[in-house]
């Protein structure tokens, strides 16, 4: 039956799941943490990093939790000695050619690889071998790409192709030379990239970072303020990362009901106006042929007075209003109500009409 619930046991905790859920989904319900590197809730499960491996009772080998569907009466263990040993091996291999510069890395404190290496006590000295020494890419205004820190989780490629559907980057090369890159290694530009920053938002290491925030503070130094994007009426939510009273960068809100952490170029990088010296911070009215600053009360009184004079002299048909798609539906409704009920006019239009 479609609504039949399966009874799963994870680390001794019993949880009810549907047939289409994975072990990782069941673990979240049971509030059991399973480490991942290639997993992103916005993407289809990939099973590439193998850090989410778990043991199933009476099953011959560990399986990845993100791609394995639950079965009734399944008994799962997520932190056995064997599972921890395998995860430590995986992390040691990832660190074998990873730069050891956490003290200068922009992702310090917000790096999944760093967090897991600390948790599993892996220092990167177990395996020695060839390392990358590739140039850092700063060929655009928004995204810095350090291929030496890439762990080939594929998240940036998948979100670019499957969610954004821009096709800007793909896994190139083979074997040790594999890395995500643009076609023919060309610089990112508006011709081949939307600069939505989705790849940055999903990167678990410091391989992809916001260039505008470089050197402006660590993650733990910033206060995250949840807000709504002002650029259109869609209602996307995100976090403003604030340090010393200034917005340093924007990060995704993965719990946002509208956008689920996804953003466009305006929402991700269009925050410079907040601290612009040219920003108008108070109403401006015209007095004696000159534009001067005023108070809100004075400006609103002037607008009400002039609209009243126009309505009295020329009638309701002389007054209209243009609303903006950048406003919320509620704001546009109130403007429409003002014109139709107070001004007695139907002259209302919006840029989103066409």
Q: What's the number of domains the chain is made of?
A: 4
Domain that holds residue 14: 6-79
Per-residue pLDDT band at 217 (split at 50, 70, 90): very high
Residue 267 lies in a domain: yes
In this structure, the answer to whether residues 270 and 299 fall within a common structural domain is no
CB 131 within 8 A of CB 94: no
Rounded mean pLDDT, 308-322: 94
Residue 45 has φ and ψ, to the nearest 5°, of -55, 140
* 69 and 21 within one domain: yes
The answer to whether residues 75 and 13 belong to one domain is yes
Residue ending a domain, among 79, 104, 121, is: 79
Same domain, 246 and 298: no
In a domain, 155, yes or no: no
User: 168, 136, 171: which is closest to 152 by C-alpha?
Assistant: 171
* Interior angle at CA 11, CA 8 and CA 13, nearest 5: 55
pLDDT of 124 reads 83
Q: Which two tokens stand for residue 342?
A: 């107070």
Calculate mean pLDDT across residues 315-330.
88
Same domain for 260 and 223: yes
Cα separation of 173 and 28, whole Å? 36
pLDDT of residue 231: 87
> Considering the domain boundaries, does residue 351 fall inside one?
yes
Choice among 2-16, 56-70, 81-95, 152-166 with the minimum mean pLDDT: 2-16
Give the containing element (helix H, strand E) for 297. Answer: helix 296-314
Rounded Cα–Cα distance for residues 180 and 170 (Å): 5
User: Do residue 306 and residue 247 come from a single domain?
Assistant: no
229 plus 251 within the same structural domain: yes
Read off the pLDDT band of 1 (50, 70, 90).
Answer: low
Q: Is residue 264 part of a domain?
A: yes
Domain contains 308: yes
Residue 261 CB coordination number (10 Å): 21
Both tokens of residue 53? 């491996």
178 lies in some domain: no
- Given a cut of 80, whether residue 149 has pLDDT beyond it is yes
Q: Give domain status of residue 341, yes or no.
A: yes
Whole-angstrom distance, CA of residue 336 vs CA of residue 322: 9
Instruction: Return the closest-CA partner of residue 248 out of 278, 284, 212.
Output: 212
pLDDT of residue 2: 57
Q: What is the pLDDT of residues 180-211, one digit of tens each?
A: 999 999 999 999 999 999 999 999 999 999 99
Residues 15 and 48 placed together within one structural domain of the fold: yes
Q: Are residues 11 and 69 in the same domain?
A: yes
Which residues sit opposite 348 in a β-bridge?
Answer: 321
The reply to whether 157 falls in a domain is no
Same domain, 55 and 21: yes
What CATH number did the domain enclosing 249 receive? 2.20.25.90
User: Is 98's pLDDT higher than 90?
Assistant: yes
Lowest pLDDT segment from 90-104, 118-132, 187-201, 210-224: 118-132
292 and 308 belong to one structural domain: yes
| Res 354: pLDDT | 58
CATH number for the domain that contains residue 49: 3.10.20.740
Arithmetic mean of pLDDT, 263-275? 94
Mean pLDDT in residue range 172-177? 91
Percent of the chain having pLDDT more than 90?
Answer: 86
Q: Return all residues near 85 (Cβ < 8 A) that are at least 6 apart.
A: none
pLDDT, average across residues 325-335: 85
Please check the confidence at residue 10 and state whether its pLDDT lies above 80.
Answer: yes
Whether residue 105 is predicted with pLDDT greater than 70 in this model: the reply is yes
Same domain, 275 and 226: yes
Question: What is the structure's pLDDT at 309?
Answer: 95
């Amino acid at each position: 039956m479609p609504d039949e619930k399966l009874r799963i046991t994870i680390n001794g905790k019993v949880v009810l799941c549907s047939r289409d859920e994975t072990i990782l989904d069941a673990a979240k319900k049971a509030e059991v943490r399973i480490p991942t590197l290639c997993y992103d809730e916005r993407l289809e499960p990939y099973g590439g990093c193998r850090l989410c491996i778990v043991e199933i009772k009476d099953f011959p080998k560990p399986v990845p939790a993100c791609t394995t569907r639950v079965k009734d009466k399944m008994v799962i263990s997520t932190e056995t000695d064997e599972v921890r040993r395998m995860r430590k091996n995986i992390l040691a291999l990832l660190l074998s050619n990873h730069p050891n510069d956490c003290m200068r890395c922009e992702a310090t404190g917000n790096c999944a690889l760093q967090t897991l290496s600390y948790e599993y006590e892996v220092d990167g000295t177990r395996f020695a071998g060839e390392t990358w020494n590739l140039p850092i890419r700063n060929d655009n205004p928004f995204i810095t790409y350090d291929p030496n820190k890439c762990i080939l989780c594929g998240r940036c490629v998948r979100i670019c192709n499957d969610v954004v559907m821009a096709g800007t980057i793909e896994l190139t090369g083979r074997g040790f030379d594999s890395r995500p890159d643009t076609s023919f290694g060309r610089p990112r530009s508006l011709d081949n990239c939307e600069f939505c920053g989705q790849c940055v938002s999903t990167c678990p290491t410091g391989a992809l970072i916001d260039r505008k925030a470089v050197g402006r503070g660590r993650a733990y130094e910033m206060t995250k303020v949840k807000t709504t994007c002002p650029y259109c009426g869609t209602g996307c939510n995100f976090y403003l990362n604030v340090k010393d009273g200034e917005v340093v960068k924007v990060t995704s809100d993965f719990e946002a009901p509208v956008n689920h952490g996804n953003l466009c170029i305006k929402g991700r990088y269009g925050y410079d106006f907040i601290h612009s010296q040219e920003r108008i911070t108070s109403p401006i009215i015209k007095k004696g042929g000159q534009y001067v600053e005023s108070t809100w009360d004075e400006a609103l009184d002037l607008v009400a007075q002039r609209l009243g004079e126009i309505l009295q002299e020329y009638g309701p048909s002389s007054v209209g209003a243009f609303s903006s798609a950048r406003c919320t539906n509620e704001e546009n409704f109130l403007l429409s109500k003002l014109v139709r009920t107070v001004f007695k006019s139907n002259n209302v239009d919006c840029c989103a009409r066409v």
